[in-house]
Amino acid sequence: MSHSDLAEKFNTDFDKTTWHDESLWFVRQKRDRAVFQVEEFQELRELGSQIKDHTLSKLDYYLEQFEANAQANGVVVHWAADAHEHNQIVLDIIKKSGESCLVKSKSMLTEECHLNPFLEKNGVEVVDTDLGERIIQFLDQPPSHIVMPAIHLKKEEIGEVFHKHLGTAKGMSDPQQLTEAARQHLRQKFMAAKVALSGVNFAVAETGGIVVCTNEGNADLGIDLANVHIASMGIEKVIPTLEHLAVFTRLLARSAIGQPITSYTSHFTKPRQGTQMHVVIVDNGRTAQLGRPDFRASLKCIRCGACMNTCPVYRRSGGHSYDATVPGPIGAILSPNIDLKKHSSLPFASTLCGSCSDVCPVKIDIHVQLYKWRQIVSKSGDYSASKRLAMNVLGRVLERPQIYGRIGKVARRMLQITPHALSHAAALNPWAKARELPQPPAESFKEWYGKNRK
C-alpha cells in the first residue's frame, strides 16, 4: 500500500492522530530548548556536516584504517556485502559460541537486515533489550520511529501487551510500574545470555573502537555480561578521530530528544580477557547510494530522528505508514535507493516544507533530495500513467499563453455552472472531501488588466 493509503487509515482516528502529533511535537520542542542553549549550535551543525562529507569522500581509507586498528586491538572484523551475508555472519558467530540466546540493543541496521526473523528461523532466541524495542517485539511490529520505536503506542496499549506477555495486572498503565516489570523481565534475560549484539553509533578509525549511545544502559549490561559481543555497523558509521566524535555527541542527543548527551556514551575498543568482540561492517546498498551524487549526502545521517519529530506529515501519519525500516523524511530519501518500486510513494509524502533540512544536525538537504527522487520516480514504471499524461498536457498548455488563457476561461465557466454536489463530489475530487473549491471569478486578472490598464 502507498503512504497515502496508510496515512488515510491512520487519520481515521482523529483523536489518536492529535495525540501522536502532540507527542512528537513535544519532543521537537525539547530539542529546540536544548539546541538554543548552545550558542554555537549552527557552527556545530556545519562542522558535523563537513566531517561527514569529508569522511564519505575517503570512506575506503577510513574503513581500512578502522579495520586495521580494530584488529590490532584483538577485534574480529567481518565484511558483509548485503543483509544476507550480515545475518549469516551473526548466526555463525552465535553457533560457534554454542549459545542459542542473543540479547540485542537497538540497531536499525539489524531491522534493515531483518536479522530477528532470520535468527529465530535458525533456532536462536532473540531478546530486544531496549524497552521500546521489546514492546514492539512482543507485538511483532516494526519500529515506527528510529529513536522511539514504540512512540505510536499509548501507555494503556503497552499495559495490555505487558499483561499478556509479562503477566502484569490487567489495566495497569502506570509507566513507572510497567517499566519496573520490563526491568525485572529483562534482568533474567541479561543474566542468562552469553552473546550480545549492539548497533554502532560511531566507529572511530583512529582507535579502532566503536561508540554506542543509549539512554537505558541496556547495551552496556548486555555486552558486559556476555562472553561474545557482536557489533553491527553500516559503512557510513566511521569517523576519523575521537576529536570528531566530540562534535557528534554534542549534536546527537540534543537533536534526538533534547538532552545534552545520552545517558550512556560507551566506548568499546577491545574484548575483555577471555571474551570475543566482533564488528560486522555492512554495505547493503550503501555504496550504490554513495555513487549517486544527488543522494550521497543521505549517508551523513546520524539517526537522531529529529526530522521525524519535526515533520508535519510524519506526525500526522505515523511511522508505519512509510512501510520502510527508516520512516519519516530521512527514510523517504534512503528507502528508494533500496527498493524504488516498493517505496515509490515516499518522496511524495511531503509538502517540501523544508523543516527536516533545518533541524538536521548534519545539514542533509532532505527536502531537496525528496524533490530529486520525485524526478526519478516519474521516469520509472512506478508512476501513475494518467498523472504522467496530465503533467505532460499541463506543461504543453502552460508554455502557450493563448491556449492557457482560453482553457482557463472555459474551466472557470464550467466550474460556475457545475452544480456544487458534482464539483464537490468526494469520489471525483479529493480536494473537496474536506475543502471548498475557490469561487471562480467572472474575469481573470489578465482580462481585468486588458480592460483597466491597456
Partner 1 sequence: MKIALFVPCYVDQFYPQVGIATLQLLEKLGCEVEFPLGQTCCGQPMANSGCEQDSVGTYHQFVRTFADYDHIVTPSGSCAYHVKKHFDIIEQTPAVRKVRENTFELIQFITDVLKVTHIGGTFAHQVGLHLSCHGQRGLHLANASEITPERGGQVSQILSTIGGLTLTNLTRNDECCGFGGSFCVTEEAVSARMGIDRLGDHLRNGTEILTGGDVSCLMHMEGIIRRQRWPIKVMHVAEILNQTLQSTTTIPKTLC
Residues that bind partner 1 (CB under 8 A): 3-4, 7-8, 10-11, 17, 21, 25, 32, 36, 42, 310, 312-313, 316-317, 347-355, 357-359, 371, 374-378, 383, 387-388, 391-392, 394-396, 398-401, 404, 408, 411-412, 430-431, 433-441, 443-449, 453
Closest CB to partner 1 among 138 and 371?
A: 371
H/E stretch holding 196: strand 195-198
**Residue 351: all three cell numbers together:** 509538502
Q: How far is the CB of 279 from partner 1 (least distance, A)?
A: 35
Taking alpha carbons only, the member of 182, 151, 152, 149 closest to residue 168 is 182
Closest CB to partner 1 among 58 and 433?
A: 433
Closest CB to partner 1 among 169 and 398?
A: 398
Closest CB to partner 1 among 5 and 120?
A: 5
Closest CB to partner 1 among 201 and 357?
A: 357
Q: How far is the CB of 354 from partner 1 (least distance, A)?
A: 4
- Characterise 363 by phi-psi region: left (phi > 0), alpha (psi -120 to 50), beta (else): left
Closest CB to partner 1 among 192 and 398?
A: 398
Contact 244, 62 (CB under 8 A): no
Closest CB to partner 1 among 95 and 446?
A: 446
Contact 362, 52 (CB under 8 A): yes
- Write the burial class of residue 373 (CB in 10 Å: 0-12 exposed, 13-18 middle, 19+ buried): buried
Spatial neighbors of 135 by CB under 8 A, at least 6 apart, are 149, 150, 153, 158, 161, 182
Q: How far apart are CA 203 and CA 234, in angstroms?
A: 10
Q: How far apart are CA 265 and CA 204, in angstroms?
A: 13
* Axis crossing angle, helix 59-72 with helix 41-57, rounded to the nearest 10: 90
Closest CB to partner 1 among 84 and 400?
A: 400
Closest CB to partner 1 among 34 and 161?
A: 34
Q: How far apart are CA 309 and CA 301, in angstroms?
A: 15
Contact 90, 207 (CB under 8 A): no
Q: How far apart are CA 130 and CA 186, in angstroms?
A: 9
Contact 355, 311 (CB under 8 A): yes
Amino acid at 184: Q
Q: How far apart are CA 384 and CA 237, in angstroms?
A: 37
Spatial neighbors of 224 by CB under 8 A, at least 6 apart, are none
How is the chain split among helix, strand and coil, in percent rounded to 5? Answer: 55, 10, 35
H/E stretch holding 209: strand 209-214
Long-range contacts made by residues 311-316, C-beta under 8 angstroms, separation at least 24?
311/350, 311/355, 311/356, 312/351, 312/353, 312/355, 313/7, 313/349, 313/350, 313/351, 314/24, 315/20, 315/21, 315/24, 315/25, 316/7, 316/10, 316/11, 316/17, 316/20, 316/21
Per-residue burial over 147-162, b = 16 or more CB atoms within 10 Å of its CB, e = otherwise: bbbbbbbeeeebbbbb
Q: How far apart are CA 366 and CA 303, in angstroms?
A: 13
